[in-house]
Amino acid sequence: MKKPAFTDIFPLPDQVKTLQVFIGNWDLEGTLIFRGKTFKVKGLGKFTSVAAGWGILSIVKMGVEDLGTYEEVDILGFNRSEQMFHFFALTNTAAAYDHKGEWKDNKTINFVYEGQQYGKTYKEELEIKIQNSSELTICENDYLDGQLITTMSVKLKKQISEALT
C-alpha cells in the first residue's frame, strides 16, 4: 500500500487553485491619488507559485510620477483551518501588514487590513479582479480615522511571452 503524500493529505481546494491565474510576469499601469494629488504609476510585477501551490509570492516595482520608485513584496496564502486568505505585504513606504480576505465571487478576491497608524485607526481595502487570463485589476482604498486618504487603481497585463505559454 502506498504511503500518503502531503498532496493526498492536504489537497488544494478550488479556491486556492484559482490563484494560479496570477502566476507570471505582469506590466502594471494606473493611478495613485495621495494627499489630494493624482500620480501616474507604471511598473512590473512578478508572481510565483510557492508552498506547492498554497500561495503566491509577488515582487512589484513601480515608478510613481514625481515620487520615485515604489517597491512591494507580498506573500498571499490560504489558511485551511480558517478558510481564509492572508496577504502579507511589505513596502518601501514603511508598511508591513497582514490583510485577510476571501473570494467575493469566482473573479474577485477582497482583502482588508485594520490596525493603527500613528495612533489612529487605519484600514486598507484591496480588491483584485480577474478580467481574463491575461488581465487583472487591483483597486485599493486606505482610510485614516475613517477618512479616505489614498486610492490606487492599477491594471495588470500579462507580458506577451507569458501570455502565449
Residue 79 domain-assigned (yes or no) = yes
CATH value at residue 142: 2.40.128.20
Q: Which of 75, 143, 86, 81 is nearest to 111 (CA)?
A: 86
Q: Which pLDDT score, from 0 to 100, does residue 162 have?
A: 55
Residue 115 domain-assigned (yes or no) = yes
Residue 135 domain-assigned (yes or no) = yes
Comparison of pLDDT for 101 and 6, the residue scoring more: 101
Q: Which pLDDT score, from 0 to 100, does residue 8 have?
A: 82
Q: Does position 9 have pLDDT exceeding 60, yes or no? A: yes
Residue 116 domain-assigned (yes or no) = yes
Q: Which of 7, 25, 33 is nearest to 61 (CA)?
A: 25
Q: Which pLDDT score, from 0 to 100, does residue 47 have?
A: 97
pLDDT mean over 60-83: 96
Q: Which pLDDT score, from 0 to 100, does residue 4 have?
A: 81
Q: Which pLDDT score, from 0 to 100, does residue 163 have?
A: 53
Q: What percent of the chain has pLDDT over 70?
A: 98
Give pLDDT tens digits for 86-120. 999 999 999 999 999 999 999 999 999 999 998 99
Residue 19 burial (10 A CB sphere; 0-12, 13-18, 19+): buried
**DSSP 8-state assignment for residue 38:** E
Q: Sorting pLDDT into bands at 50, 70 and 90, what band is 7?
A: confident
CA distance 89 to 72: 7
pLDDT mean over 56-61: 98
Q: Does position 65 have pLDDT exceeding 90, yes or no? A: yes
The total of structural domains in the chain comes to 1
For residue 155, give its domain range: 12-163
Residue 3 domain-assigned (yes or no) = no
**DSSP 8-state assignment for residue 3:** P
Residue 119 domain-assigned (yes or no) = yes
Q: Which pLDDT score, from 0 to 100, does residue 52 have?
A: 93
